[in-house]
Amino acid sequence: MGRKVALVTGGSRGIGAAIARRLAADGFDVAITYAAEAGRAAAVAAEAEALGRRALAVRARAEDAGEVVAAVERTVATLGRLDVVVGNAGIAPYGPLEDVTLEEVDRVLAVHARASFVLAQAAARHLPEGGRIIMIGSSLAERVPYPDWTLYAMSKSALVGLTKGLARDLGSRGITANLVHPGSTDTEMNPADGPGADEERSYTALGRYCSPEDIAATVAHLAGEGGRNITGAAIPVDAGVST
C-alpha cells in the first residue's frame, strides 16, 4: 500500500498499544495518544519506528476536547495525512449505583462519549476516500450481566449511535465507521488473574479472556482492504459473552 497513517488514542498500553503495534506491522505510520504514561507511549512509538514506520506520541487527555483536536491536527501536520482513527482511550470505574456522583457521570461521559465524538469530528476533516473510523466500545454496551457497571455501560452504548450516525454522515465520502466491542481482555484495566476474573470467564462461551492482540486483529481487518464494505457495524470480540 502507499504510505498510510493511523491515529490510536490510548496507545501507551493495553488494547491501544496492541492496536498500534499491529497497524505498524501492517504498514501504517502511527500516532498514539496517552494521558499520563509518556514514557510508555514513547516506547510503543519506538517499536513502530523499529519496524521502519514513522511514529508520534502525543499527550491528549480525553476530558480536554482541545487536546483531542490538537492530537489530530498534530498527526496530520507531522505524519502528513490521516487514514485510520481508532478511539480506544478509556477508563473503567464501577461501583454501587448509589455511590456514583454527578462529577463521575460527567467525567465518564466526557472520556467515552464526548471525546469520541470530538475525535471523529476532527478526524473527518482530514480522512480521505477509504478512510476508517473505529471505536472501541465494550460488550457491556449491549449486555450487562452483573451489577455496578451502569455508568460505564451507558457511556459505551453512546458509541453505538455515534458509529451508526458517522457511517451515514461519511458514507458518501467512502469513509467507514465501526465499533469493536471487547469482552474481558487481559490488560492492566482488567487482568486475567485479577480478583473478579474467574467470574468474568464464567460469563463467556469459550471460558477465557481475550488478549489485546485479539481485539487488534479485528481492528486491523476493519482498517485494511477487507473492511471496505463494513460500516455502521458493532462487532463483538468477547469469547462469546454476548451470546
CA 165, CA 61: separation in Å to the nearest integer?
24
For ligand NDP, the closer of residues 163 and 185 by Cβ is 185
From 75, 157, 176, 184, residue interacting with ligand NDP (rule: CB under 6 A): 184
Least distance (Å) between residue 83 CB and ligand NDP? 21
The DSSP symbol for 57 reads E
Q: Which residue in this structure is represented by grid cell 451502569?
A: 150
152 annotated active-site: yes
Q: Which helix (H) or strand (E) holds 79?
A: helix 65-79
Torsion of CA 28, 219, 106, 187, to 10 degrees: -100
Least distance (Å) between residue 9 CB and ligand NDP? 6
From 46, 50, 92, 105, residue interacting with ligand NDP (rule: CB under 6 A): 92
Question: What single-letter amino acid sits at 243?
Answer: T
Residues 1-30 that bind ligand NDP (CB under 6 A): 10-16
For ligand NDP, the closer of residues 81 and 189 by Cβ is 189
Residues 44-63 that bind ligand NDP (CB under 6 A): 61-63
CA 106, CA 109: separation in Å to the nearest integer?
5
CA 19, CA 7: separation in Å to the nearest integer?
10
Least distance (Å) between residue 88 CB and ligand NDP? 5
In this structure, are residues 211 and 237 in contact, taking their beta carbons and an 8 Å threshold? no
Joined grid coordinates for residue 50: 523499529
Residues 212-241 that bind ligand NDP (CB under 6 A): none
For ligand NDP, the closer of residues 51 and 197 by Cβ is 197
Beta strands in the chain (DSSP E): 4-8, 28-34, 55-59, 84-87, 132-136, 176-182, 234-237
From 90, 131, 227, 236, residue interacting with ligand NDP (rule: CB under 6 A): 90
**Which active-site residues does the annotation give?**
152
Judged by the rule CB under 6 A, the positions of this chain that interact with ligand NDP are 10-16, 34-37, 40, 61-63, 88-92, 111, 136, 138, 182, 184-185, 187-190
